[in-house]
Amino acid sequence: MMSLYGSTGKCEIHATMKLVDLLKVMELLGRSAIAVFLLFLVASRADYCEKPPFNAYLYCNYSASITERVKDLLSRLTVLEKMSQTATNASAIERLDIPAYDWWSECLHGLAQSPGVFFENDLTSATSFPQVIGLGATFNMSLVLAMGQVISTEARAFANNGQSGLTFFAPNINIYRDPRWGRGQETPGEDPYLTSQYAANFVKGIQEGSEDRRYLKAIATCKHYAAYNLERYLDVRRVNFNAIVSDQDLEETYLPAFKACVQEGQVGSIMCSYNAINGVPNCANDFINNKIARDTWGFEGYIVSDCGAILDIQYKHNYTSDTNITVADALKGGCDLNCGHFYEKYMEDAFDNSTITEEDIDKSLTRLFTSRMRLGMFDPPEIQPFRQYSVKDVNTPEAQDLALNAAREGIVLLQNKGSVLPLDIVKHSNIAAIGPNADATHIMQGNYHGIAPYLISPLQGFSNLGINATYQIGCPVACNDTEGFPDAVKAVQGVDAVIAVIGLNNTQEGESHDRTSIALPGHQEDLLLELKKNAAKGTPLIVVVMSGGSVDLTGVKDIADAILWAGYPGQSGGQAIAEVIYGKVNPSGRLPVTFYPASYINEIPYTNMSMRVPPGRSYKFYTGTPVFPFGFGLSYTTFEIKWKDTSTAKDYYLKTTHDEVVNYEATVTNSGSRPGSVSVLAFITSSVPGAPMKELFAFKKIYLEPTESVDVSFVAEPKVFTTVDIYGIRKIRPGAYKIIIGDDDHHIKHNVFISA
């Protein structure tokens, strides 16, 4: 396979073949071969700007500014050629020696199979990190940054080998609004601040990496913009869902992560989502795309539609009734690139009818070709960074260690009665490993994954520690009978410990389908009862929950001695689970979502987008009693937190006009007997009417040996003291505020009073 950038041979397939011919070829090849075929086109014609007369054109002059180069390139294109560049599989322009390019590659938590990425030749796998919800549970943004850097390095290696594009549809930073959402597993969780920090760090890891600021390592796409968190629930579909969102919720909950993506991460791309907001489909929504993202936040990249979303404007939302108007509304509404072929099919008619102008098209093409130039696609290989990456930079020992550490740090200890954990590797060397996920492999990757170099199941993880484990499934995830119970019961006879690995999988939660229940599916809870009843008295029952979303564990709390939540922990997930259970690693994860009782979904309509509708959504507004709260997580050691300076105990009195930055300094001590990491969370509460019950504004993860102490500081900038009113206006308002650092069991507080 030839390089994405430089041709080393001749192409037998003409790179400018018409769409109709391309579709015929696709029919012959079959859908599974489409991605390979398109990448072949890209790789086969990637020698542009290297030979005359093209190398004399200004757009090939790498010493000129990108602005000048793009302007020159557009001046040489016909209108029809420009139109051919508005689909994600952009056509080649042979007369200017510009090859085809597929904009659609995936890397949610590692390079993933997609139209732009495929695994073959010397590159048959890539590092598979935990699913994003587990990464949110780490509360470790330096880890997220490092993961992004590994992914982009492997992406460049694949691209240099002609097996990947460099524009990626990740990260998913929608707020996990409701536990029923099937794609919540793809997000960092329910909190806007946590999600914002994840977004900024992931994007930096993907895009940055060179002192030469002309070039991006790859381009990330923050999706799905905006207020998208419903797939298919009963008779409601994402493709025609009209999200009724208040100005308050939009500013307070649904937009902050995207703002951080743009302003802190400097992201190169945004994906507009399937849904509409207040009657306007997002891919035709001038308000959110142009007025907010571009004019207010300063976004300079391109906006790509979710796949098929332009068509949905007309045929699902019924927002338009004419293809010319649909093209115009989407293009002028800010969507530059159509994942699909609606633009390609109808843009010419819209132009001929003067519904759009060449200037409209040029705005989008300027953003698209600027992005390609920033990726180095028009410049000699020898002057570019990132061109040296190859197969040796994929699946490195360092990358594998990072994936394992990410899995370790994302595991949350929810319950530990009588300090039954960690198990002793000698006293508990003979165990029963029971449950639908006890021997999970691919399940541990969640969705949007690639091919991992290996997958270590929990069963294999125990074996790697020298533990003798007898395995029985007992009950599949959604089992509707108890046929497997007798074998499971037999397996627990005479063992030192029972470890049940239960939860969900992608048949329960995933793209295109939501959950209609948040209880444990099937007879899993019944299985746990049988295991507890039939194991010898005193035999510890450890329950590990694999899931993306929260599940009601009320009954499990009564049955199990200890409970761990592992998300979908990636290629080394089973190893991490075993190490945590046996104390090789001290658990340090914290829940990135609220675990609600099963009755929650009967109290609040899924389609209601309000965060405050009773009984409230997320830890910020939920007035009920959670099964486990957001931010909860136990350890095998104990941590104490105190103010570093006792003067902090004095109250602060500020004005609403204040621009003072308050620095809260605390000392954290490991007061237990085991080394471990702890995420210290900082919240703010206020008496302002309508304000959240509490709100995360900072967090830090630190590692401490026994008796070791470290000072940490949390900066409360004026924006920390802002609240959003019903009109969507964020500002500092008079009231009593309280800073809370730490968790419910051990925290410190500080009062701030703000007057008009």
Per-residue model confidence as pLDDT tens digits over 97-106: 899 999 999 9
Count of other CB atoms within 10 angstroms of residue 529:
15
Which entry of 97, 191, 249, 306 is annotated as an active-site residue? 306
Beta bridge partners of 368: none
Helix axis angle, 323-332 to 342-352, nearest 10°: 100
For residue 645, what pLDDT is reported?
83
pTM: 0.93
Unique residue bearing structure tokens 């990496």: 209
Unique residue bearing structure tokens 């470290």: 710
For residue 653, what pLDDT is reported?
92
Evaluate the CA torsion angle 309, 312, 316, 321 in order and state its sign. Answer: positive
pLDDT < 70: residue spans in the chain: 1-47, 647-649
Neighbouring residues of 662: CB distance < 8 A, sequence distance ≥ 6:
652, 715, 716, 752
Pairing verdict, β 280-281 and 269-272: unpaired
Round to whole Å and give the CA distance between 25 and 271: 29
For residue 217, what pLDDT is reported?
98
The answer to whether 140 and 701 have CB atoms below 8 angstroms apart is yes
Q: Is 235 a catalytic residue?
A: no
For residue 9, what pLDDT is reported?
28
Q: What is the CA radius of gyration of the chain?
A: 27
Paired tokens of 153:
């390095």
For residue 649, what pLDDT is reported?
67
Residue 525 backbone phi and psi in degrees, to 5: -65, -35
Taking alpha carbons only, the member of 435, 424, 452 closest to residue 488 is: 435
Paired tokens of 178:
């409701």
Neighbouring residues of 751: CB distance < 8 A, sequence distance ≥ 6:
651, 652, 736, 737, 738, 739
The answer to whether 117 and 106 have CB atoms below 8 angstroms apart is yes
- The rounded percent of the chain whose pLDDT value lies above 90 is 90
Secondary structure element (H or E) that encloses residue 565, with its range? strand 562-565
| Cα angle: 592, vertex 597, 598; to 5 degrees | 115
Task: Determine whether 638 is exposed, middle or buried from the number of CB atoms within 10 Å of its CB (0-12, 13-18, 19+).
Answer: middle
Round to whole Å and give the CA distance between 430 and 307: 50
Paired tokens of 594:
């609220």
For residue 47, what pLDDT is reported?
54
